[in-house]
Amino acid sequence: MIELRDASYGYAGRMLLSGMTLTLPPGSFHFLTGPSGAGKTTFLKLCYGELRPVSGHLSAFGEDLARLSRDGLARMRRRIGIVHQDCEFLDHLPLSENLALPLVVAGRPVVDDELRELLAWVGLRSRADAMPPELSGGERQRGALARAIVTSPEIILADEPTGNLDWEMSQRLLSLLIELNRMGKTILIATHDLNLIRTAKAQVAARVLRIKDRQLQLAGADL
C-alpha cells in the first residue's frame, strides 16, 4: 500500500529521517514509536504527501507521490484516512458537518444515519452540533478519528490518536481501529504510549516501527 525506498527527509537541510526502506502491506497493522521530536509526525506527513522526501522514493497505491499533481494527491488522500495530531477541523462548521466534509468534497452521498452512528461510536452523539473550538482535546481526537474513517478508506494513518484520551477511551478507540483492521484496512498509528501497543499486540498481529538515530527500525517482538 505504502512503500518507501531509501527515502530521507530533513527540515532546512538538517537531516531528520534518512535511508528509510519499508513496505506497509495491505491489511497490516503497524505502530510507529519514538521519543517526542523523533519525527513521527514528519514520517506520516511524508506518507500522505504533505511533505516530499528530499531523496529516495515513496509510493502509495503503487504511484510515486513525487509524480502526482495536486489534484492527484487530493484524489489519493480520499483513499487514506488521516487522524492529524492537531485534528485540522474547519472551525466554522459544526462537528457533524466536519465529519461529512470528506464525503462532500469527494462527491459521495452523505447518509445522516451513518453519520449519527459514527458519532455515537466515538461517544460524540450529543456533540454533533458543537463547533470544533468548543470541544475538549479528547473530543476533538475522537472526532478526528471519526472523520478519518467516514469515507471507509483503505489506509488509516493516526498521529497520536490517544494523546488526550483517558485509558478507557483509548482502549475503545484502539478496538475500533483493530475492528477496521479486521475488515482489511491497513493501519499505522504513531504513538509513544507503550501500554497501548502492548494492549494491541494481545489482540492483533501488530508490528512496531521505531525511529532511532534518524533511522526507521522494525522493533523486535520484545518491545
Partner 1 sequence: MKQFLVQLAQRPVLSLWIDRIVPPAGQSAQLTLMTAAAMAFLAVFALALAFSANRLADSWSAAFLDTATVRVSAAPEQAETQVKRVLEVLATTPGVTQARAIPAEETQALLAPWFGPDLPVASLPIPRLIEVSTTRDGFDAEGLALRLQAEAPGAKLDDHLRWRRPLVETAIGLRRLAIVSLALIGGATAAMVTLAAQAALAANGQVIRVLHLIGARDVTIARAFVRRFTLRTLAGALAGTALAALAVAFLPVVADGEVLAHLGFSGREWLWPLCVPAVAAVTALLATRAAALSRLKSEA
Site for Mg ion, rule CB under 5 A: 40-41, 85
Binding of ligand ADP at residue 167 (CB under 6 A)? no
Residue closer to partner 1 by CB (options 14, 70) is 70
Sign of the CA dihedral running 187, 124, 133, 197: negative
Which of the listed partners (partner 1, ligand ADP, Mg ion, none) does 37 bind, with a CB threshold of 5 to 8 Å by partner kind?
A: ligand ADP
Binding of partner 1 at residue 75 (CB under 8 A)? yes
CA 60 to chain centre: 14
Which of the listed partners (Mg ion, partner 1, ligand ADP, none) does 11 bind, with a CB threshold of 5 to 8 Å by partner kind?
A: ligand ADP
Q: State the nearest-atom distance from the C-beta of 89 to Mg ion, in Å.
A: 18
In sequence order, which ranges of 48-111 are alpha helices (DSSP H)? 70-77, 95-105
Question: Which contacts of 113-121 are long-range, i.e. CB under 8 A and separated by 24 or more positions?
Answer: 115/150, 118/146, 118/149, 118/150, 119/95, 119/146, 121/146, 121/176
Query: Out of 15, 66, 90, 120, which residue is the one contacting partner 1 (CB under 8 A)?
Result: 90
Binding of partner 1 at residue 78 (CB under 8 A)? yes
Binding of partner 1 at residue 124 (CB under 8 A)? no
Binding of ligand ADP at residue 16 (CB under 6 A)? yes
Q: Which residue has the cell 519499508?
A: 22
Residue closer to ligand ADP by CB (options 7, 100) is 7
Helix (H, G, I), strand (E, B) or coil at 205: coil
Query: Out of 41, 98, 141, 181, which residue is the one contacting ligand ADP (CB under 6 A)?
Result: 41
Give the interface size with partner 1 as a residue count (CB under 8 A).
32
Binding of ligand ADP at residue 28 (CB under 6 A)? no
Instruction: Give the cell for residue 112.
Output: 445522516
Question: Which contacts of 198-207 are long-range, i.e. CB under 8 A and separated by 24 or more positions?
Answer: 198/223, 199/171, 199/174, 200/29, 200/31, 200/174, 203/175, 203/178, 204/29, 204/178, 205/29, 206/29, 206/30, 206/31, 207/28, 207/29, 207/30, 207/31
Interacting residues with partner 1 (CB under 8 A): 48, 50, 70-71, 73-75, 77-78, 82, 84, 88-93, 97, 100-111, 147, 151
Interacting residues with ligand ADP (CB under 6 A): 11-12, 16, 34, 36-42
